[in-house]
């Protein structure tokens, strides 16, 4: 991929095995969020490109014997493992590309690529180890009854900008493992690593037409994919507003819909977790990580600190002190700990949340502004200081809505019931954590939290083997784990009568 704006990359639409420019010839500049300068030009596809890509995916799915859906499971698994190996080979380049495109540190980019490789390996292992079908006891030796799994068909995979390749891999790996063909539409502002992955899939031996990509905006490419009559499934990761539109657009054609949406994730800290210096240090450190990694642009970001009143002052003071020391800068620069926000639009949104919180009575403990420019922080970059807002309450917009930026709100509780009520008081339900040394309390609170992932004395880890997804408006369906594969399958019951006889229900 070119590292200059002169751009060999304008052919970024992949249809039926060919790299193409947009039918309209339109292009889009991809900006580096650290300085707002364009560094690659990509094709700006629209409905026409989308229709071509869907047709290619349809042809690759329906094309008869020898095509991907009929490829033996062992071969599909082997291909996914080759993709994982290629990701490891290209880890440094891909990690740097992701860092530059999405405004991460290079180390975050590398970790993302490791996680992408893990997803490919996990789904390879999962399908390879499976029995081909589940035999059902029909109660008669004359009946052979088996439930088998088949691919859904053509999958539309729509992804966001915060973890571009990781979110794509959670869809692409199970979709391929299950034998589907797909059209992926990455976020229009961070498409570069997903484009690169298509080349790796080809290098690993995936037949032409199985993997297609259309770069372009949500309102044209994404919307067309969601409504397209030849698409059998749409899997979307992104915000609540776009996700609702996707579900509405998909409804008339009754396609399968999976939605991974936002979160408003509580991090509940009981005083007992901070009874020792080590416990206090760990809980503060992890609260910092929960809220500010990738500048808070994480669906599971722990942006809502819910801390026991008795330790609030000490905890928040230390948290604010450490937040103020986070080193912001261009993610590719050495010693930088946190990159910029992804776009000016995102920074403006974060600023409006902070302004409204202060108007509603929140107390600013640190941050709340753009940092001074420096050698590692160009004035044109979309930087924003890690921000801690104390004295928040549940009626505030900043407490209710997803900020998706480096903003931590502080609420307090006195009893376990209050803590649980605050943690569950959100229309979302993606993830949450509880910090306590009391094992009984940990189990009780974890059991009562209405969130798809609950951490006890930790924040953020996930496992490819464990389902990821949300309660409430955090979405529909699950990614990862066996359920993340099941999303991409239809179940078929094959009932065979080995000794057929007349039923004689009707006299004649
Ligand atoms: P977004 O909703 O703006 O965009 C996501 C994708 O949808 C993009 O590719 C976009 O082009 C496309 N899109 C936009 N409008 C569309 C439409 N009408 N029809 C079809 N596609 C459309 O989200 P974003 O700003 O890119 O990402 C941030 C959001 O993603 C946050 O809300 C975050 O919580 C969520 N997210 C969730 C998870 C999860 O696992 N639950 C993971 C990562 C991000």
Q: Enter the tokens of residue 32.
A: 């580096």
Within 10 angstroms of residue 379's Cβ, the number of other Cβ atoms is 11
Closest CA to 105 of 368, 328, 398: 328
Q: What is the pLDDT of residue 46?
A: 98
Residue whose Cα lies nearest atom 11 of ligand 1: it is 218
Q: Which residues pair with 148 in a beta bridge?
A: 133, 492
Q: 268 — phi, psi (to 5°)?
A: -95, 120
Cα within 13 Å of Cα(167), Cβ side: 26
Residues 6+ apart with CB under 8 A from 167: 159, 160, 237, 260
Whether residue 164 contacts residue 102, with contact meaning beta carbons closer than 8 Å, is answered with yes
Instruction: State the virtual CA torsion across 468, 471, 473, 474 in degrees, nearest 10.
Output: -20
CA 125 vs. chain centroid, Å, equals 21
Which SS3 state, helix, strand or coil, does residue 185 take? strand
Q: 308 — phi, psi (to 5°)?
A: -65, 135
Q: What is the pLDDT of residue 131?
A: 87
Read off the pLDDT of residues 220-247 as tens digits, 9 standing for 90 and up.
Answer: 999 999 999 999 999 999 999 999 999 9
Is the pTM above the cut of 0.95?
yes
**CB of 299 closer than 6 angstroms to any ligand 1 atom:** yes
Q: Which residues pair with 413 in a beta bridge?
A: 308
**CB of 226 closer than 6 angstroms to any ligand 1 atom:** yes
Q: Which of 112, 115, 160, 225 to mutate to test the pocket of ligand 1 (most atoms within 8 A of CB)?
A: 160
**CB of 158 closer than 6 angstroms to any ligand 1 atom:** yes
Beta strands in 89-142, from DSSP E residues, in sequence order: 133-136
Q: 497 — phi, psi (to 5°)?
A: -95, 115
Give the Cα separation of 349 and 3 in Å (integer): 29
Sheet holding 304-308, edge to edge: 363-366, 387-390, 407-413, 304-308, 266-269, 431-435, 453-456
pLDDT along the chain (508 residues), means of 10: 49 96 96 96 97 97 83 97 98 97 97 98 97 94 97 98 98 98 98 97 97 98 98 98 98 97 98 98 98 97 98 98 98 93 98 98 98 96 98 96 98 98 98 98 98 98 98 98 98 98 91
């Amino acid at each position: 991929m070119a590292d200059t704006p002169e751009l060999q990359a304008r052919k970024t639409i992949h249809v039926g095995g060919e790299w193409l420019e947009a039918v309209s010839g339109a292009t889009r500049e991809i900006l580096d969020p650290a300085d707002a300068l364009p560094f690659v030009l990509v094709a700006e596809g629209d409905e026409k490109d989308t229709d071509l890509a869907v047709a290619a995916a349809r042809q690759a799915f329906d094309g008869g014997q020898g095509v991907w859906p009929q490829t033996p499971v062992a071969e599909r698994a082997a291909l996914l493992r080759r993709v994982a190996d290629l990701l490891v080979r290209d880890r440094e380049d891909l990690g740097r590309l992701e860092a530059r495109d999405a405004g991460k540190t290079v180390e975050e980019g590398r970790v993302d690529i490791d996680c992408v490789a893990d997803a490919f390996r996990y789904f390879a292992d999962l399908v390879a180890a499976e029995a081909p079908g589940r035999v059902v006891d029909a109660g008669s030796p004359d009946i052979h009854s088996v439930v088998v799994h088949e691919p859904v068909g053509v999958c539309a995979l729509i992804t966001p900008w915060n973890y571009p390749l990781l979110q794509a891999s959670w869809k692409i790996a199970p979709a391929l493992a299950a034998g589907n063909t797909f059209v992926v539409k990455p976020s229009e502002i961070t498409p570069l690593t997903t484009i690169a992955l298509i080349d790796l899939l080809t290098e690993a031996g995936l037949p032409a037409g199985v993997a297609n990509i259309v770069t372009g905006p949500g309102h044209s490419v994404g919307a067309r994919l969601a409504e397209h009559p030849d698409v059998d499934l749409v899997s979307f990761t992104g915000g609540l507003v776009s996700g609702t539109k996707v579900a509405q657009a998909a409804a008339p054609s009754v396609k399968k819909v999976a939605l991974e949406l936002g979160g408003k994730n509580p991090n509940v800290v009981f005083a007992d977790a901070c009874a020792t210096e080590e416990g206090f240090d760990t809980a503060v450190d992890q609260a910092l990580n929960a809220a500010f990694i990738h500048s808070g642009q994480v669906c599971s970001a722990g942006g809502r600190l819910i801390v026991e009143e008795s330790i609030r002052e000490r905890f928040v003071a230390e948290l604010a002190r450490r937040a103020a020391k986070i080193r912001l800068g261009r993610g590719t620069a050495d010693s930088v700990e946190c990159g910029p926000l992804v776009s000016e639009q995102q920074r403006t949104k974060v600023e409006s949340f902070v302004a409204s919180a202060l108007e509603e009575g929140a107390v600013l403990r640190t941050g709340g502004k753009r940092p001074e420019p420096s050698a590692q922080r160009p004035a044109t970059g979309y930087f924003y200081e890690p921000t801690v807002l104390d004295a928040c309450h549940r009626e505030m917009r900043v407490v209710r809505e997803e900020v998706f930026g480096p903003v931590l709100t502080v609420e307090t509780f006195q009893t376990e019931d209050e803590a649980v009520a605050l943690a569950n008081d959100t229309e979302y339900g993606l993830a949450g954590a509880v910090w306590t040394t009391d094992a009984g309390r940990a189990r009780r609170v974890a059991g009562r939290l209405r969130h798809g992932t609950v951490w006890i004395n930790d924040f953020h880890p996930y496992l490819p083997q464990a389902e990821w997804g949300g309660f409430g408006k955090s979405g529909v369906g699950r990614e990862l784990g066996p359920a993340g594969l099941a999303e991409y399958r239809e179940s078929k019951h094959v009932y065979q009568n080995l000794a057929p006889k007349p039923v004689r229900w009707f006299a004649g």
